């Protein structure tokens, strides 16, 4: 394995920040009774965005 470049680390952190912000916004828009179900639903929704 090679070292991860600084620019790739910055991109990964930026992406992680966007994901957390989106999850917080989604959680604030709806009542959550089951955290696991909430995360599962959002994970499944995001899978369609991943190019295969």
Whether pLDDT at 48 is above 80: no
Grade residue 5 by pLDDT with cuts at 50, 70 and 90: very high
Q: How many domains does the chain have?
A: 1
- Domain assignment present for residue 1? The answer is no
pTM above 0.85, yes or no: no
Assign 17 to helix, strand or coil: helix
C-alpha to C-alpha distance for 15 and 51, rounded to whole angstroms: 16
User: Which helix or strand (DSSP H or E) is residue 18 part of?
Assistant: helix 6-29
Question: Residue 5 corresponds to which tokens in the numbers above?
Answer: 């470049």
In a domain? residue 52: no
Tokens matching residue 36 = 């696991």
**Does residue 49 have a pLDDT over 80?**
no
Q: How far apart are CA 13 and CA 15, in angstroms?
A: 5
Residue 42 lies in a domain: yes
Q: What is the predicted pLDDT for the residue at 52?
A: 59
Residue-wise pLDDT tens digits, 25-35: 888 888 888 88
């Amino acid at each position: 394995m090679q070292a991860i470049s600084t620019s790739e680390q910055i991109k990964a952190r930026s992406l992680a920040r966007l994901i957390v912000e989106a999850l917080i916004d989604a959680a604030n828009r709806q009542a959550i009774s089951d955290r696991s179900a909430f995360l599962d639903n959002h994970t499944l929704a995001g899978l369609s965005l991943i190019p295969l």
